[in-house]
Structure 1
Amino acid sequence: MFGDCTETVSILYAVVFGADGACIELSTASILMAFGAFMVLVITAQFFARKLWKKLTQVAAPVEDEFSAPPKTSPYSDDPNYRDSAIRSTRR
């Protein structure tokens, strides 16, 4: 069973295409290549999962800005109640 191999394939090749009676090479390069391919798949899946999650949790309609002030005609407008406030300028 173990002595009659016609060819030797890497781990990645065996996972993708199947070994079909061939011996599987257990070298450092073969293991790192399979691990690298696995990491690329995981990172790609995370990227698409985050995009999908952001799309699913997105607010349906954007909220309009309620605090937009009308444009001022003068750069400064004096508030008559400011003189009685707790925070005052030392110059009056």
Structure 2
Amino acid sequence: MFAECSETVSILYALVFGAGEACVRIDIWSILSAFAAFMVGVVILQVLARRLWARLTQGPDIGESLSEAAPSEPRTDKPFHDDPSYRHSAIRSSRR
């Protein structure tokens, strides 16, 4: 039933290159190396997928539209002017 092996390879090597007539070594280091390679692949694919998704879902570039709309106005840290005494103001005290 079991043939004698002339060569023994790890799980990762067997997955990448194939085992052929060799026996596959199943020990903790073989399993951990295959798992580590799998996790690295998952992380790389997640980064690529997030970049692709961000590129597909982004709208028009806001920075270019602001600079084209009002090139003579200096940029400030305040995006809008709001009256804090106004009842329905966007910026208001929480003690109302």
Same fold? TM cut 0.5: yes
1:22 to partner: Cα distance = 0.5
SS at match of 1:64: helix
Give the gaps of 5 or more residues in structure 2. 75-84, 87-96
Q: Distance in 2 between matches of 1:34 and 1:58?
A: 36
Give the whole-Å Cα distance in 2 for the aligned partners of 1:2 and 1:37: 29
Q: Which amino acid aligns with 1:7?
A: E
Residue 33 (structure 1) aligns with: 33
Provide TM-score, normalisation by structure 1. Answer: 0.66
TM-score (norm 2): 0.63
Output the CA distance in 1 between the equivalents of 2:13 and 2:59.
44
Distance in 2 (CA, whole Å) between partners of 1:47 and 1:2 is 44
Structure with bigger gyration radius: 1
Size of the alignment, in residue pairs?
70
Give 1:4 shift: 2.4
Give how far 1:55 is off.
Answer: 0.5
Percent of aligned pairs with the same amino acid: 53
Deviation at 1:61, TM superposition (A): 3.6
2:24 corresponds in structure 1 to 24
Q: Which has the higher contact order (CA 8 A, sep 6+)?
A: 1
* Structure 2: distance between partners of 1:61 and 1:19: 51
| Structure 1 unaligned regions, length at least 5 | 72-84, 87-92
Where 2:32 maps in the other structure, the secondary structure is helix
